[in-house]
Structure 1
Amino acid sequence: MRRSWTPTGVLALIACLVFAAFTARCAEAQQAARDSRAAGAVHFDLPAQPLSQALQAFAHVTELVVLAPAPLLEGRTSAALAGDYAPRDALEQLLAGTGLRAEFTGPDEAIIVAQPEPAAPAPPAAAGSEPASAAQSADGIGGNDEQRAYAAMLQARMTEALCAQPAAVPGSYRLVAQLRIDDKGTVVAVNLVASSGLASRDAAIVRALRRMKLDSAPPAGVPEPVTILLRPVGNGVHFHCPQPDSN
């Protein structure tokens, strides 16, 4: 039986660029540094520059993970940023005038999204037409039915794969990884972008993702690699592994 996926679950798909700082320190030291930087001010000295470069520099300074849909960044220039700022305030200033904003999904993680358009009177809907909101994309994956269906399938298969590995069951950790999927629907590479904090768990997650059985290859318009974000339960996020069919 095909299992359904809840948008408020711990796993999200994002067709995007990932900006993150990489260091050789242990996970505990990394987390302590992130918590400290998230709470206090950090010194910035960033000139106006292509937005993708600015976000890379921002992630290096703050050690935050910044996820940004690649098409949103094209042709955009950041604002200059100089002085001491809390990371959230700094990111807002960096994005000033770009038409983009940051949504913080955790103390060490932000997603870049488009600013909402000013509300305008909606034209009368034609009989039998679908509400405009139903056609909008979710979790950064395209705006057409084929792409959304593929995203739902991939999320479901990842849920099954991770729940089948006791060490990889989602819900208690945050992790960012990127998947490369070939034209036969085979996962050919898994790149760990942000660790879950345990090397043994990271290894179990990578094994589970490499062994996923996908129904099909990505449809046209889904950029690769596909980024996955695993979130811990809490703050509106909930998750339960599906129960095996009794029949």
Structure 2
Amino acid sequence: MADLLEAGSQPSEWVRNLTLVSALFLNLLSCLLPSDLCARAEKSIRFDIAAQPLASALETYSVVTRTQVVYNAKLTNGRQAVAIEGVYTPGVALALLLQGSGLAPRYMAQDAVVLVPVPKTSLLVDAASAALAMRYYALIQARMLRALCVDGRARPENYRFALSFWIGPDGRLGRVVLLDTTGEAERDAAIEQVIGRVSIGEPPPTGFAQPVTLVISPATPSEQSECQSALVERPIRASR
């Protein structure tokens, strides 16, 4: 999920305060190229997003389009999104939300996008660091989805939930903080227990900021079938 970083940025600034805003399932098997190099079949959707802080507008966009949006939270501080009303493709709507923000979308899958600063130079100094952070982010996604799908008490189906978590140097989650509730105390406890046992399998890369925040939204029937696919472990390879 990496592209050029803004001139003068440090790798730690890119990953600090990483915010993960996602739809239910996190598809990681598609394109890792910039959006103009990926064929993205998009259907138009009716949007009614009021003018508001960019961060909250992006969360609304994520829920409406079922698109996972990842960005450094510092990059949205103090930035406003214009109102979006009408029928647009998700790509056009996102471009409208981001206008004037200094951010640009880079698609890692048809329903997964990372926001990066619009590059002011062609320097690639921090590209490798960003690539490592994005690869680790993809690994987190795979481990989280598998853990939730394996346990019938926590399997994502018809609930919305939010939590933050920290990852220790051994790759295990050392602290989980619930930010929302599914509406059922028993299920909340099950999710917290399941997530607390997750091991990412390797330590975070240098400078990877924490906590990471995950928002899960209800799935459509077709998306629920992705749990079955998630039960099959697949290697995640570093980009070269």
Please give the TM-score of this superposition, normalised by the length of structure 2. Answer: 0.48
Which structure is richer in relative contact order (CA contacts within 8 A, separation 6 or more)?
2
Structure with higher Rg: it is: 1
Please give the TM-score of this superposition, normalised by the length of structure 1. Answer: 0.47
